[in-house]
Amino acid sequence: LTWKISSIYCQFSDFCECDFRPNIDGLECDLSRYLYGQHLVKEIVLAAIRQYTESANPEKPLVLSFHGWSGTGKTYVTSMLVKHLYGRGFRSPNVHQFVPTLHFPHAGSLMQYQKDLESWIVRNLTACQRSIFIFDEMDKMFPGLIDVIMPFLGSHCAYCRRALFIFIGNAGGEQINQLVLDSWRNRKEREDIDLHGLEAILSEAVYNNPKSGFWKSKIIEENWIDHFVPFLPLVQRHVKQCVKMELGLRQVTGREDVVQAVTDAMNYFPKQEKLFSQTGCKTVGTKVDFYL
């Protein structure tokens, strides 16, 4: 009932912020304490979100696209954002997450999905302009579907300007890994890798990949994505940090043996250098339970 009343209020008020209660200090703190090996992500996400939350009347919605290898923190950072932007986190009625394999599984229903997605967004943006729409597994989304959200991304849609769109996918991961590998071979510090050229590489990687939901997408052609955010592949040092964090969550200290056992149990690639963790930090939690 409370939500219905606030929806009605929001339709008549320009200042309706619904459950939007940004805590930028909290976000900054979580990113710097609990996100490892992602200096570019911290920098881009924090600056973009800060600007987005500080502007009461943005000119357009904020559109972010997260790219990178498995287990590098894309979903994790999205959760941090949701936690620090909405009072009730993922339980907030203003947080909407789409998973293609769950919500759009059948190729034959593409037109129906397009209609449903469009009306879902209109309905929710008219109920609350500060809504967040998260599109997970962009590599598994049927090309053509995502273009129905185009009209909501620009400045001409007045009730869309305070929304936040996040796309998550693995496309571009190989290109990011290659760049990190090259810089490692050239003895360059990881933290010295900058965005220069990377955004263009990522935009091309999703646009030209028939397996990407952005394949030949107008969203890319017309530059509606504000920031392509590269998640770098994690190395042993980061896996160790993840193990320590998992141990901390279990209130376990002084178990260097577990830190070493879990770090050694992960697979690393490329074959020769054995530099990057195959699953990032993704399976660390279960491995910690196994070795404890």
Give the residue with the Cβ less far from ligand ATP, 198 or 281.
281
Name which of 127 and 281 has its Cβ closer to ligand ATP. Answer: 281
DSSP H or E stretch at residue 159 = none
Position 70 contacts ligand ATP (CB under 6 A): yes
Residue 74 Cβ vs ligand ATP, minimum distance, rounded to whole Å: 4
Q: Which stretch binds ligand ATP (CB under 6 A): 13-21, 35-43, 123-131, 254-262?
A: 35-43
Segment interacting with ligand ATP, rule: CB under 6 A, options 67-75, 107-115, 123-131, 179-187: 67-75
| DSSP at 29 | H
Among 75, 183, 236, 278, binds ligand ATP (CB under 6 A): 75
Q: From residue 146, give the alpha-carbon distance in Å to each of 37, 110, 115, 220, 224.
A: 30, 10, 11, 11, 12
Return the ∠ at Cα 260 (arms to 254 and 261), rounded to 5°.
Answer: 110
Q: Which stretch binds ligand ATP (CB under 6 A): 33-41, 114-122, 213-221, 222-230?
A: 33-41
Q: Which of 170, 177, 203, 277 binds ligand ATP (CB under 6 A)?
A: 170
Which residue stretch of 24-32, 64-72, 143-151, 183-191 sits at the interface with ligand ATP (rule: CB under 6 A)?
Answer: 64-72
How far apart are CB 184 and ligand ATP at their closest, in Å? Answer: 17
* CA distances in angstroms from 106 to 99, 150, 241, listed in the order given: 13, 22, 40
CB atoms within 10 A of CB 194: 10
Tell me how far apart the alpha carbons of residues 120 and 135 are, in angstroms, rounded to a whole number.
Answer: 13
Residues 210-269 touching ligand ATP, rule: CB under 6 A, are 231, 234, 242
Stretch that binds ligand ATP, among 47-55, 72-80, 122-130, 212-220 (CB under 6 A): 72-80
CB contact set of 247 (below 8 Å; sequence gap of 6+): 253, 255, 258, 259, 288
CA distance 287 to 247: 11
Which residues have CB under 8 Å from 42's CB, separation 6+? 31, 32, 35
Q: Which of 177, 282, 287, 288 binds ligand ATP (CB under 6 A)?
A: 282
How near is the Cβ of 169 to ligand ATP at its closest, in Å? 8
38 binds ligand ATP (CB under 6 A): yes
Question: Which tokens is 56 given?
Answer: 């009461």
**Distance between CA atoms of 146 and 221, rounded to whole angstroms?**
13
Is there binding between residue 76 and ligand ATP (CB under 6 A)? yes
* Least Å from the CB of residue 54 to ligand ATP: 26
**Cβ pair 121, 149 in contact under 8 A:** yes
Q: Does 287 bind ligand ATP (CB under 6 A)?
A: no
Nearer to ligand ATP, 36 or 52 (CB): 36
List the helix and strand counts (H, then E) for the chain: 13, 7
- Residues of the shown chain interacting with ligand ATP in the complex, contacts defined by CB under 6 A: 34-38, 70-76, 170, 231, 234, 242, 280-282
